[in-house]
Amino acid sequence: MNHDKMINISTKRGFLWPSFEIYLGVSGFTDYGPLGAILKNNIMQLWRKQYIAGEGFYEIESPTVTPEEVLKASGHVDNFTDPMTQCEGCKDVYRADHVIEEVTDLEVEGMTNAELDKIVKKHKVNCPNCRDKLSEIWNYNLMFKTNIGAKGNKTGYMRPETAQGIFIQFKRLSRFFKNKLPFGVVQLGKAYRNEISPRQGVIRLREFTQAEAEIFVDPKDKSHPMFNSIADEKLVLNSQATQIEEKDPITITAKEALDKGIVANEVLIYQIYLANKFLNEIGIPKEALRFRQHLPNEMAHYAIDCWDVEVDTDRYGWVEIIGIVDRGEYDLKSHSKYSNKELDLFISYDSPKTVSKTIIKPNMAKFGPSFKQNAPKVKGFLESVTDDNIEAIKLSIKEKGKYISNIDGEKFEILEEYLKFEDIEEEVSGEKITPHVIEPSFGIDRILYSVLLHSFHVSDSENDKDYFKLVNSIAPIQIGVFPLMNKEELNEIAIKITSNLRNSGFRVDYDTSGTIGKRYARSAEIGVPIAITVDYDTLEDNTVTIRNRDTEKQERVKLNDLNEIVEKYFN
């Protein structure tokens, strides 16, 4: 693990480049060079393989420009805007609302900046650090704002996460999945956050790529059909308890973690397991990973449980690369409220339930004369009261002979003779529920960085070289084809091999420049797993050598068998 050397080579060889460089660059943005772009796509394709092919989830793609309403409902418009203030003396920057609440004990949430400014003046709120004067308050919004349409009167934002695009399609999605839980929907794409001061290269970007899955589950059933198959898998967990007690993370099986209540439910553990599996497969070793549970105070208020996957880095310490959250019903409820649409699901019971309950039957002969024009209103009220309230009404009438209802501020006296209680048995075939959402959210850029960092082999001797020991499944270039010398008769065969392999779908680099040794070294550096060399023997007996990047061993094979051997090697 060596950040500096790794970044040096990855920049030099076309993995990661600074964006807008000839115009001096802008921090918080990165370009993926020719190899970086392939690598990123390969990682995303493997992700799709695991979650779409493996788990049966479906992918959707929604716009990155998002109208304000959506992000209002999600909470981003309000919670992503921080009122900031700066001390004119020591230049420290603070959250204005935090400073004010601390000093004045006032509840200032939802106030405008002008109102906050007034409070600052009135209560003489000064810098908590050096007591100097505070500047006028300004808003810092972490979302990129834009206007939609020529008139520019519709506000939009670049989405700060891909998840919302899934939540707001819930009605169509649940129909697509035939109204059956659980189902999973994924989205891979760009998201945007206008960070105040991004300074950690590709770790903290203003425009980044997420791969998120939203798994909709029955709140009463968070079991997972495959849980038994992973019950004995060991996980390294840094739970709330181990963090609070400042102990080392514990190694524990999935089953134990569930039984001891360390992880909230099976689906969540299964997702932790899957994340771990994915990272191992793309070349991040187990030892470099750990799972950290959010502490109660850092968890979003609606979250039921939340785990970060963290990767070890030499430059930035433990870095969060994946978040796995049980978001409960928060998102669907919130969008339902703001959009006024029913974002729920009717779940049929295995067999219809017979429910015995008490209903109220109004005696309309008495109702009309007593309540006159208000009769329908009172009737409606009585029909809509919940089971608990029926008991209260029943009790009140039994004890006092009447019940005084309060309907929209108007009081109505309901006497015993106005109604009848009837015990009935009702057949209920199911119920409407708001699904809970389990969300694994992957930061693709950070994962790519981790892959590069942990694949990077730092030379340990004179003969050794620094190179990317990328696993076969994601190496941007899979095969180098090199004529031993830059000679027409060798090149001819090498070109033919190259085009054959390319036609079979392999990413091949054909290279004649420099000495063969130099070409091996160069291709190893960018992680090409194997090199095929055409030499003078090839002209005699139709054989070539296949050289393994890591062992440096060469094997001579027949040209006729080449395709088959290579296929086997990569699949």
SS (H, E, C) 317-330: EEEEEEEEEEEECH
What is the strand order of the sheet 543-548 is part of? Answer: 508-510, 479-483, 530-534, 543-548, 554-558
Sign of CA dihedral 360, 363, 369, 370: negative
Identity of the residue, 277 or 556, whose beta carbon is nearer to RNA in the bound complex: 556
Residue 195 makes contact with RNA by CB under 7 A: yes
Residue 108 makes contact with RNA by CB under 7 A: no
Select the residue interacting with RNA from 72, 95, 394, 502 (CB under 7 A).
95
Identity of the residue, 281 or 537, whose beta carbon is nearer to RNA in the bound complex: 537
Select the residue interacting with RNA from 101, 280, 466, 469 (CB under 7 A).
466
Select the residue interacting with RNA from 521, 558, 561, 567 (CB under 7 A).
521
Residue 138 makes contact with RNA by CB under 7 A: no
Planar angle of CA 315, 317, 319, nearest 5 degrees: 110
**Among the candidate windows 56-64, 222-230, 442-450, 460-468, which touches RNA by CB under 7 A?**
460-468
Select the residue interacting with RNA from 147, 391, 514, 567 (CB under 7 A).
514
If one counts every other C-beta atom within 10 angstroms of the C-beta of residue 418, the result is 22
Residue 349 makes contact with RNA by CB under 7 A: no
Q: How many residues bind RNA (CB under 7 A)?
A: 60
Identity of the residue, 28 or 182, whose beta carbon is nearer to RNA in the bound complex: 28
Question: In the window 296-315, what residues touch RNA (CB under 7 A)?
Answer: 300, 315
If one counts every other C-beta atom within 10 angstroms of the C-beta of residue 260, the result is 12
Residue 31 makes contact with RNA by CB under 7 A: no
The residues facing 322 across adjacent strands are: 309, 442
**Among the candidate windows 93-101, 114-122, 350-358, 429-437, which touches RNA by CB under 7 A?**
93-101
Whether residue 476 is preceded by a cis peptide bond, meaning omega within 30 degrees of 0, is: no
Residue 35 makes contact with RNA by CB under 7 A: no
Give rounded-to-5 percent helix, strand, coil for the chain: 40, 30, 30
**Among the candidate windows 52-60, 73-81, 270-278, 470-478, which touches RNA by CB under 7 A?**
73-81
SS (H, E, C) 183-226: EEEEEEEEEECCCCCCCCHHHCCCEEEEEEEEEEEECCECCCCC
Q: What is the largest CA-CA distance in the chain?
A: 113
The residues facing 236 across adjacent strands are: 251
Query: How far apart, in whole angstroms, are the C-alpha atoms of residue 349 and residue 372?
Result: 42
**Among the candidate windows 57-65, 80-88, 112-120, 394-402, which touches RNA by CB under 7 A?**
80-88
CB 189 within 8 A of CB 64: yes
Q: How far is the CB of 429 from RNA (least distance, A)?
A: 39
Residue 145 makes contact with RNA by CB under 7 A: no
* Residues found near RNA in the complex (CB under 7 A): 8, 11-12, 18, 24-28, 75-76, 79-80, 82, 86, 91-95, 142, 160-161, 193, 195-197, 199-201, 204, 300, 315, 463, 465-466, 484-486, 513-518, 520-522, 524-525, 533, 535-537, 545, 547, 549-550, 552, 554
